[in-house]
Structure 1
Amino acid sequence: MTHDNPRFCPQCGHVLNLTSQQCEACHAQIDDRFMLKHDPKVKQATDNLIASFAASGSRRAFFKKGAVIAASGVAATALGAAFMPELSSAAARQTQAQTQASLKAGLQQKNQTLSNYKSAQDPIVTILTVARTAEQLAVTFYSNGLSNADKLGLKGDNLTYLQAALAEEQIHQQFFAANGGQSLTETFSFPHGPQTFTDLKTFIDTQQQLEGVFDSAFLAAIKEFAQLGRPDLAQIAGQVACIEAEHRALGRAIGGLSPADNWAFTPIYLGSVADAPALVTKAGYLSPKGDNSYTYKAVSTNVAGLEQTKPFAVSSSVVGNG
């Protein structure tokens, strides 16, 4: 049956039927909240996004007046709550509403300044914290994959690609940690448990899901950093997003998927970085138990041929990669 507006899997592009909850081709979970629809709301959302960038100057002034003070505490609370498996989309919307109310209340605190508060309350640190924790998940994933390279049949260039990817994820983790990102957890699970590291198809399916979410999260970070008046961090988030996209394409090549670079535009799964933990929890990455429990361990970043190991941004005030 043909439809005027067919649904496509945002992970691999496979045509879906109207009721699909999982892609038949790549087994990605389908959530219609993250599917673009052919209606006027899409154009309106794009217009609103462009307008938000145009308003960045007034938004910076707003934050300097103290609105960030009340909002940051709510953002940190929301971040912790997002890691709980029982978080629902309704709860997420309620958190967003509470944040907006706190922003409005923050206007009452004109005499307060950012210097009066700890940096851990800053919404920028919230983003860095989610990013650091996500990179720890990535390091854990690639570490266990490489530890089981023989079982997965990884060798030659394919093995080298993943060794470089692992080191790059570790470098990203070091950067976010050096700039104030906290570790929310170091123990993870995977949707298919131990099979993830014994079956190549399962390993690549998992890698594709993770890198797709990481890409989307860093795209959200670009927007949020820009709105917070930090174009330097926005640029670095873009640098990281580019590398995560490379990992995804290399994973498709390793898995024999063609074309390896099959996205013209990266799908947007997330409205904000703080939404990432709930999405990852729902997918099965934050429920460790029994033999499906994997702990992050830092790895060496000394990989032959690896270049550009420090971020760069014009007028940057960040520390570097530590």
Structure 2
Amino acid sequence: MMKGRTKKDSATANLLASFASARSRRAVLKGAIAGAAGVTAGAAGFALTPLSSMPAYAKAVNFHATAGNVQTTDTAATILTVARTAEQLAVTFYSNGVANADKLGLKGNDLENIKAALVEEQIHQQFFAANGGSSLAETFSFPKGAQTFTDLKTFIDTQQQLEGVFDSAFLAAIFEFAQMGRPDLAQLSGQVATVEAEHRALGRQIGGLSPADNWAFSPVLLATVGDAPALVQKAGFLSPSSGNSYTYQEVSIENAGIEQRKPFTASSSVVGNG
């Protein structure tokens, strides 16, 4: 187990450092959302309001919104596509962690918590896929390669980096969806962001970092959701090679301990809760 740290942990420091230089997301996203022009009804209770009902300004291919000095060009389809891909990376990470639990020394409640995180990420992936999100990638790499799943410290460092990116992306999505006039999607993004934050705290607990919940405010490290793919690629998660190639495979979502499996809201007209 890792000892508690009084300074910012290395995973968070590395995440912050990765934002030091400007990044272009055009090459990463080019053509990725061609099949996600609209959000359609998916599995029962998973349907969101179709994009076809959105105001014309929000449906535009190049939706522009000014956030301080940042001009965003994301569409709802872009955000759902990035979200689905992020969840596939998360499922790939956690499923390999479970498969290598013995090597990582994961057992008891720690292992059960990782299994729960895996199921939650799979449920998220299924939701975004059912509602129009396309897939940018299904084969991933990890910055430390195979060591990620044989050394607990490396596993937790990687988990902290990933969950930090995921949290930032969904928080950025809240702002972007609010600018688009989509409070339903903004609220949904918040529902997912809170769960990703829980995963981050659980990872810190498993890794022996104290306190486990060490952020008063979750930082928004991404100006737009569309910035996420380039960041993840730069960090080493989208460069599969021999010996460092991990392909997403859907896992069972059977886990009696996981509740609130559909995005329930007080108003059923906002997000289907079937």
TM-score scaled by structure 2?
A: 0.77
- Find out whether 1:14 has 2:7 as its counterpart: yes
Contact 2:15–2:164 (8 Å) recurs in 1? no
- Find out whether 1:223 has 2:175 as its counterpart: yes
Query: Helix, strand or coil for the counterpart of 1:304?
Result: coil
Would the alpha carbon gap of residues 29 and 125 (structure 1) be closer, same or farther in structure 2, given more than 3 Å must change? closer
Corresponding residue of 1:28: 14
Map Cα deviations across residues 231-265 of structure 1 (whole Å, 9 max, x no partner).
Answer: 11111111110100000000000001100001111
CA distance in 1, matches of 2:205, 2:19: 29
Corresponding residue of 1:145: 97
- Find out whether 1:203 has 2:155 as its counterpart: yes
Would the alpha carbon gap of residues 155 and 65 (structure 1) be closer, same or farther in structure 2, given more than 3 Å must change? closer
Map Cα deviations across residues 289-318 of structure 1 (whole Å, 9 max, x no partner).
Answer: 101000000001111211000002335455
CA distance in 2, matches of 1:70, 1:26: 34
Would the alpha carbon gap of residues 27 and 123 (structure 1) be closer, same or farther in structure 2, given more than 3 Å must change? closer
Would the alpha carbon gap of residues 294 and 281 (structure 1) be closer, same or farther in structure 2, given more than 3 Å must change? same
More helix by share: 1
The letter for the 2-side match of 1:31 is A
Of the structure 1 ranges 133-142 and 227-236, higher mean CA displacement relative to structure 2 is found in: 227-236
Map Cα deviations across residues 251-292 of structure 1 (whole Å, 9 max, x no partner).
Answer: 000001100001111111100100000111110000001010
Aligned-pair CA distance for 1:175: 0.7
- Find out whether 1:169 has 2:160 as its counterpart: no
Q: Identity of aligned pairs, percent?
A: 68
Of the structure 1 ranges 186-195 and 301-310, higher mean CA displacement relative to structure 2 is found in: 301-310
The letter for the 1-side match of 2:244 is N
- Find out whether 1:278 has 2:230 as its counterpart: yes
Pairing of 1:62-73 with structure 2 (within 5 A): 64-66=55-57, 68-71=59-62
- Find out whether 1:130 has 2:82 as its counterpart: yes
CA distance in 1, matches of 2:109, 2:272: 33
Query: Helix, strand or coil for the counterpart of 1:150?
Result: helix
When Rg is computed on C-alpha atoms for both structures, the one with the higher figure is 1
The letter for the 2-side match of 1:14 is K
The letter for the 2-side match of 1:269 is L
Aligned-pair CA distance for 1:69: 2.8
Unaligned runs of 5+ in 2: 21-53, 65-69
Would the alpha carbon gap of residues 192 and 239 (structure 1) be closer, same or farther in structure 2, given more than 3 Å must change? same
Contact 1:139–1:170 (8 Å) recurs in 2? yes
CA distance in 2, matches of 1:146, 1:210: 17
Map Cα deviations across residues 201-225 of structure 1 (whole Å, 9 max, x no partner).
Answer: 0000000000011000000011111
Unaligned runs of 5+ in 1: 1-11, 16-22, 35-62, 75-92, 100-121
- Find out whether 1:233 has 2:185 as its counterpart: yes
Corresponding residue of 2:111: 159
Of the structure 1 ranges 301-310 and 192-201, higher mean CA displacement relative to structure 2 is found in: 301-310
TM-score scaled by structure 1?
A: 0.66
CA distance in 1, matches of 2:102, 2:18: 38
Corresponding residue of 1:105: none
Contact 2:98–2:114 (8 Å) recurs in 1? yes
The aligned length equals: 231
